[in-house]
Amino acid sequence: MINTNFNGTHSWLLEYISKCKLGEIEVGHELMLEFDRILEDFSDPSLKIEFEEAHKRIMFIETRCKHFEAPFAGKPFMLELFQKAFIESIYIFKIYDAEIGRYVRLVQDVLFLVARKNGKTPLVSAICLAEFFCGPLGIKILCSSNDYEQADLMFQAINAMREESPALEKVTRKNVKGIYFGNPKNVKKKGKFSYKNKGNIRKISAKTGAKEGRNIAVGAVDEVHEMKDNTSVMPIRQALSTQDEPLYFELTTEGVVNDGYLDSRLKDAREVLNGEMERRRWRIWLYTQDNEQEIWQNEKSWVKSNPGLGTIKKWSFLRLMVEEAKTSKATRVFVLSKDFNEKQNNSSAWLMPEDIENKETFDIEVFRNGFAIGGVDLSRTGDLCSARAMLMKPNSDKKYFIQQYFIPESKLSTLTKDELAKYKEWIRQGYITVSDGNENDFRLVTQWFYNLFKQYGIRFYKTGYDKWSATYWIREMEDFGFDTKKVEQIWGSMSEPMRLLEADLKSDKVVYNDHPIDRSCLENTGMSVNSKEEMMPIKVQGKDDNKIDGAVTMMICYRIYIDFKTEFLELVKRMQ
């Protein structure tokens, strides 16, 4: 058992480590590795252990700061044990700096990874405010994030805590540029709380220019998981270089950006934790699960990535998210990354094999003189060109697809032997129309739509198309009397139809006539999920040469259907 007193002073950090080591509090293996590093620091004779600065900031937060958001708005910011331990771990260790000629804070760099809704932004905001008041004269603090809105969340959290305390508000002021010492209503001529103190708290985003040239003592970057590289954070880190005791925070959850900045940082962090790299001034505080299986099998393990579960974050919320994740791939990706810090590949397969499999077929004659929604994914050279008609029956929510694919003749010569044999069979069966030369002939696409009307009387209510190479084709389609609508392949446009198509596929409400190319396209389709939990189709990682055009045209049809559902279903009723 670990002694929680150090030289007569109670240590929240040692108490937390002791309870975790004894199993009273469950944490993941990676945080346990950091605890081992910390315990080594406690026994390192080259370090001084001083609690005054840490406990001063803890007391400041608990006595001066108040929560500003429901359901805790107006209540004192009483720190949880894990939060006190985190603060102590940053401030109590001192190392002698020969260049400066005195002992300075050991920890200069902090990586804080914790699941969403565990109070990471309010906590680091409170630490920044405490540093503003408890730190040296003239201290400058910078809040940053990938976008201005997220950076503003931390800044507003700091300001809200300042405003909640009459004592803090009395000696500070805020304007559009930041928070400053000195208050025109309570003027002090000298000292820390006067206008002569040029300390401030400001905010910037990754999109804000001219980050170089700043001189700050504390930098805090929120949600680094969205950053693709280090171009946004390096100027902030460099702006700390003139300080004797700089303090740099990175706080985040896991994300879905592949090979992004956070991936690189976590790779280095894990090498440090495993003893493969030496970075003793880096505090690596990771709340992670030990494996994905325990998430589904043991809800008690959820506290490993959610230390505030039951006090800050509600069990009922997390249980609801996990249940939704069991039935929705997009929700599963989002929940695993955001609620459990399980890294998700943003180009993993979208559907399970059983979702795609549907042997049901139909005769096109059933839809003679009916109404359809059209969809095309145009490609001049590289990919297949896909054209599609979506039809429905009165009083049914099933969607029936008629499809045709197009490919330029020259493309066939680039295929492997096995692929060529497969494509030749599809061409023989009439699934693919071949264009002469090096480009798809879009006139053949127009002719296919027109033939459905000419041969079967199928009338197209609207036809959706993507934005690529479409100018001439649109004009030609409109000359034939088709009403075309642009459907961009972007997050906001594709997310809703992708979700509805997934739900319909799982419910066997999509009938694509057991078409082999449709099936192949669905198998090749991955999904990318952004921070707003929006979905977009992409190729499954490692399958860049495979085609997804058929799946995309299904989504384009669904986009038109969603946007014009009432009018289209009224037309479908006329088939009765």
Q: Encode pLDDT of 365-384 as tens digits.
A: 999 999 999 999 987 556 68
> Region 26-32: what's the mean pLDDT?
97
Dihedral over alpha carbons 304, 310, 314, 315 (to 10 degrees): 70
- Cβ count near 445 (within 10 Å): 23
> How would DSSP label each residue in 385-447?
EEEEEEE--TT---EEEEEEEEEEHHHHTTS-HHHHHHHHHHHHTTSEEEESTTS--HHHHHH
Please state the separation of Cα 212 from the chain's center in Å. 27
- Check pLDDT > 50 for residue 413: yes
Is 509 in a helix, a strand, or coil? coil
- Cβ count near 517 (within 10 Å): 22
> Region 12-20: what's the mean pLDDT?
97
49 neighbors 6 (Cβ within 8 angstroms): yes
Q: What is the pLDDT of residue 211?
A: 47
Please state the separation of Cα 172 from the chain's center in Å. 36
CA atoms of 262 and 503, how far apart (whole Å): 32
**Residues 505-514: pLDDT tens digits?**
999 999 999 9
Lowest mean pLDDT of 55-69, 222-236, 469-483, name the range: 222-236
253 neighbors 341 (Cβ within 8 angstroms): yes
Lowest mean pLDDT of 15-24, 284-293, 463-472, name the range: 463-472
CA angle 255, 468, 569 (to 5 degrees): 85
- Check pLDDT > 90 for residue 235: no
> Region 22-45: what's the mean pLDDT?
97
CA atoms of 371 and 503, how far apart (whole Å): 23
> Region 23-50: what's the mean pLDDT?
97
> How would DSSP label each residue in 70-108?
TTSTTSB-PPPHHHHHHHHHHHSEEEEETTTTEEEES--
CA atoms of 349 and 368, how far apart (whole Å): 36
Q: What DSSP character marks residue 463?
A: E
pLDDT band of 468, cuts 50, 70, 90: low
Q: What is the pLDDT of residue 208?
A: 52
**Residues 49-70: pLDDT tens digits?**
999 999 999 999 999 998 887 7
Q: What is the pLDDT of residue 549?
A: 93
CA atoms of 460 and 482, how far apart (whole Å): 7
Residue with tokens 């921070």: 531
Q: What is the pLDDT of residue 27?
A: 97
List the domains of the chain with CATH numbers: 5-340 (3.40.50.300), 353-573 (3.30.420.240)
- Check pLDDT > 50 for residue 92: yes
For residue 496, what are its two tokens? 């809703």
**Partner residues linked to 304 by β-bridges:** none
Percentage of the chain surpassing pLDDT 70?
96
For residue 49, what are its two tokens? 């252990």
- Mean per-residue pLDDT over the chain, rounded: 91
The reported pTM is 0.75
Q: What is the pLDDT of residue 151?
A: 76
Lowest mean pLDDT of 346-355, 532-541, 548-557, name the range: 346-355
Q: What is the pLDDT of residue 212?
A: 44
- Check pLDDT > 90 for residue 152: no
CA atoms of 115 and 301, how far apart (whole Å): 13
The amino acid at 131: E
Q: Which residues of 108-126 are buried (b: 16+ CB within 10 A; e: fewer)?
A: bbbbbbbbbbbbbbbbbbb
CA atoms of 124 and 305, how far apart (whole Å): 17
**Residues 544-561: pLDDT tens digits?**
567 899 999 999 999 999
Dihedral over alpha carbons 164, 166, 168, 174 (to 10 degrees): 70
* Distance linking the first and last C-alpha atoms of the chain: 78
> Region 37-43: what's the mean pLDDT?
97
- Nearest Cα neighbor of 27 from 36, 434, 382 is 36
For residue 278, what are its two tokens? 């030496």
CA atoms of 537 and 474, how far apart (whole Å): 24
The 3-state secondary structure of 183-252, one letter per residue: CCCCCCCCCCCCCCCCCEEEEEECCCCCCCCCCCCEEEEECHHHCCCCCCCHHHHHHCCCCCCCEEEEEE
Percentage of the chain surpassing pLDDT 90?
70
- Nearest Cα neighbor of 226 from 537, 541, 532, 539 is 532
554 neighbors 526 (Cβ within 8 angstroms): no
Length of the chain: 576
The amino acid at 494: M
Q: Which residues contact 167 (CB under 8 A, 6 or more apart)?
A: 64
For residue 131, what are its two tokens? 């540093």
Integer angstrom CA distances of residue 311 from 37, 118, 315: 28, 9, 9
- Check pLDDT > 60 for residue 349: yes
Q: What is the pLDDT of residue 213?
A: 43
Q: What is the pLDDT of residue 90?
A: 98
For residue 172, what are its two tokens? 């500070």
**Residues 117-147: pLDDT tens digits?**
999 999 999 999 999 999 999 999 999 887 7
Q: Which residues contact 388 (CB under 8 A, 6 or more apart)?
A: 374, 375, 376, 401, 402, 403, 404, 550, 553, 554, 556, 557
pLDDT greater at residue 69 or residue 521: 521
> Region 345-353: what's the mean pLDDT?
73
CA atoms of 284 and 111, how far apart (whole Å): 5
pLDDT greater at residue 204 or residue 407: 407
pLDDT band of 84, cuts 50, 70, 90: very high
- Check pLDDT > 90 for residue 148: no
pLDDT greater at residue 387 or residue 350: 387
- Check pLDDT > 70 for residue 101: yes
Residue with tokens 């055009």: 549
CA atoms of 158 and 367, how far apart (whole Å): 63
